[in-house]
Structure 1
Amino acid sequence: MHIEDKKKEVVALLEERERMDTLEQVSEAVNVIDLVDHVDVSGAFVKVNNRLPGDSKWRLYVGYLSKAAAILFLPVLLFALWQYYFSQGGISGDQISMQQITSPPGTRSQIILPDGSKVWLNAESTIRFPIPFSRKTRNVSLIGQAFFSVQKNPEVPFIVKADNVQVKVLGTRFDVNAYPDREKVGVVLARGKISLTAENQEHTSSKSVILHPGERAVVDRQQGDIQLSEGNIEKYIAWHNGRLVFDETPMKEVARQLELWYGVKVVIEDPEILNYHFSTTFENESLYQVLELLKLSSPIEIDYQPAHYDEGGKKTYSKSIVYIKKKTK
């Protein structure tokens, strides 16, 4: 098919979507969600990866391209659904359904919520919300990390629940980092104002603070204590713009960020390496490029083991593994 033919096909598709009414758009969105849920992304990637030449550089570059292509944009027409229900004069309990979206390892997703708010969902993170939102509150639950750009609506507060931490906003831009494997939850405010409430693990006491732009709150999951700090927040929120920022970041955290960013497993073979700190910014670099730059900036050696997919009885998937050890003389 020639380029001109492809252009005509795209134009025809866009014109067809413009003619759809709200119900037809909602139906299309449901079909898209169903297709996404049934795609075996890991298996497909590994099958392609296993057919590549044995050169690890090839595999790393293809891995990078697949992650770049997998920055999913999911404007699933939820806003249209919300408008439709409210135009019908309200909703009943049995008309509300819960939508759950998860970003796989090495993938960052952009989502449009029913009210038009935008969410950037980091790798290995899950967001859950009702379709549609209620008239009184816009409730969202989060496991992992997400950056929010919330549509302003003073009459309907936007509430993010992450474990024992609750963030309440009217309209703002902020980041919540609440991965289950971490002892603390981080909340960073880029614009606007938010109210943060944290409970202790026993739910016997709670504390609340107001955050202003440029502030970061760190919440202890066990005690519910909140520590506030002010400064450069760019390193905490740059990920949603495709940049990986390290600022005197210890190796343990660097390894964790690489695992999330590229969907690999990082093994530190020499404990002494954990004392190393890194300050640099990566933007659209492949895993191979990042590892090479880390090798140049510190006395370390890196081995890479590609992912593989066992199509036997259990059909197990194994992530790529990056081994990091101290460089020998």
Structure 2
Amino acid sequence: MSPEQQRIHSLLHKYGRQQCTPEELAELESWYASLGASSPLPFPDEAAELAVKEELWQQIGHARRPARSFRLPVWARVAAIALPLVAGAWLLLKKTPSPAPAAIATASAAQAITTPYGATRQATLPDGTEVWLNAGSSLTYGPGFGESQREVTLTGEAFFDVEKNAEKPFVIHTGKMNIRVLGTAFNVKAYPDDQTHEASLIRGAIEVSPLSRPEKKVVLKPNEKIVLPNLPLKTSPGMLPEESFKALQRDGYALAAVSVNPADQSVAETAWVSNRLAFMNERFEDIALRLERKFEMKIVFTDSLAPALRFTATFENENVRETLEALQYTAPFSFRIDQKTIYITR
């Protein structure tokens, strides 16, 4: 995906969450107005478009429908990208020429497995691989998966228990890295609005290639993770030693041990699979994103101090109010819940 395509992808994501600035709205409107039948779309393939379509549905209010797999015909491609621009979507559809029947057959074989905010989902892929999707995530794969190849594209977070097949390695594509697997269990976190993308290995072995350094092949060992920057970093994102943070800034990626709770030997990076929340010296701003996904709430910081607070905690069955009240014992802040929005101040 080119820098321009990544930019449009990011703006569409922010638009769906109603977080665009006036300048960003103007940029989106300019892009939309320039679309024509031959205009390049901001995605590398139909599978990526499927992921964004479902992601935007989740963000603009349709996310509460049950997670499902679906098939998207080619004639709906541009409409899928323009879904947040609801009022003008039919105009954009009119600009798109009718595709050839062969193209329809190819696109209709693409599959997407999604989860809305407030939910997780377990699924079995055609090759027998088990996947657990965290809230607000999408996994797509194209025709021939399990037969000629085993490649998927992930937006969000997922835990994989990959079926072994040495002749057909399992490959995961995210916005910041490609991961090659033979047979193993691991977690991948690749949300577009998170500061970092991560791959955490639980057992087996995986080979990670950062997109910023495709010639680099990093092989992880069990209980090890690789962290790549997704947004500009000024301070450590948490769960990362200072020396690893320096490596992240210097090399564009960092290796570190997964975070293990000494009380029960559970791994913080995969706690969500058991419906738990685990924070290890994480900034409140990053924790807020996870709370938004888990509880289908929007969190607004009303000052510049609260987002920088750091917390270490584990929660299992607490609701969002109980979670925030428990965090208040660690650092002073106040919050107010107004329907589906939480306002937090120091």
| 1:179-231 alpha-carbon deviations (Å, 9 max, x no partner) | 1123532111011000111222xx8x532110110111012459983311124
Equivalent-residue separation in structure 1 for 2:307 and 2:324 (angstroms): 16
Conservation of the 8 A alpha-carbon contact between 2:63 and 2:116: no
Q: Name the amino acid aligned to 1:211.
A: L
Q: Name the amino acid aligned to 2:318.
A: E
Equivalent-residue separation in structure 2 for 1:275 and 1:183 (angstroms): 13
Q: Find the counterpart in structure 2 of residue 179 from structure 1.
A: 191
Q: How does 1:1-80 map to 2 (within 5 A)?
A: none
| 1:52-86 alpha-carbon deviations (Å, 9 max, x no partner) | xxxxxxxxxxxxxx9xxx7x6x799xxxxxxxxxx
Q: Find the counterpart in structure 2 of residue 215 from structure 1.
A: 224
Q: Name the amino acid aligned to 1:285.
A: E
Give the deviation of 1:284 after TM superposition. Answer: 2.0
Q: Find the counterpart in structure 1 of residue 16 from structure 2.
A: none
Q: Find the counterpart in structure 1 of residue 24 from structure 2.
A: none
Give the deviation of 1:258 after TM superposition. Answer: 0.7
Q: Give the fraction of aligned pairs with identical amino acids, expressed as a percent.
A: 32
Q: Find the counterpart in structure 1 of residue 175 from structure 2.
A: 163
Give the deviation of 1:160 after TM superposition. Answer: 0.5
Conservation of the 8 A alpha-carbon contact between 2:63 and 2:117: no
Conservation of the 8 A alpha-carbon contact between 1:206 and 1:224: no
Point out the structure with the larger strand share: 1
Equivalent-residue separation in structure 2 for 1:271 and 1:164 (angstroms): 29
Q: How does 1:1-329 map to 2 (within 5 A)?
A: 97-130=109-142, 133-200=145-212, 205-220=214-229, 225-232=252-259, 234-306=267-339, 320-326=340-346
The structure 1 segments of at least 4 consecutive aligned residues displaced by more than 4 Å after TM superposition are 41-45, 92-96, 221-224
Equivalent-residue separation in structure 2 for 1:224 and 1:114 (angstroms): 37
Unaligned runs of 5+ in 2: 1-56, 71-101, 232-249, 261-266
Equivalent-residue separation in structure 2 for 1:174 and 1:294 (angstroms): 29
Q: Name the amino acid aligned to 2:343.
A: Y
Give the deviation of 1:274 after TM superposition. Answer: 2.6
Q: Name the amino acid aligned to 1:252.
A: E
Equivalent-residue separation in structure 2 for 1:224 and 1:177 (angstroms): 20
Whose RCO is larger (CA < 8 A, sep 6+)? 1
Which protein is bigger by CA-based radius of gyration?
1
Conservation of the 8 A alpha-carbon contact between 1:193 and 1:212: yes
Equivalent-residue separation in structure 2 for 1:304 and 1:286 (angstroms): 13
Q: Find the counterpart in structure 1 of residue 31 from structure 2.
A: none
| Residues 1:97 and 1:287: Cα distance change in structure 2 (over 3 Å) | same
Equivalent-residue separation in structure 1 for 2:335 and 2:341 (angstroms): 10
Unaligned runs of 5+ in 1: 1-37, 46-65, 77-91, 307-319
Equivalent-residue separation in structure 2 for 1:273 and 1:162 (angstroms): 30
Equivalent-residue separation in structure 2 for 1:299 and 1:230 (angstroms): 30
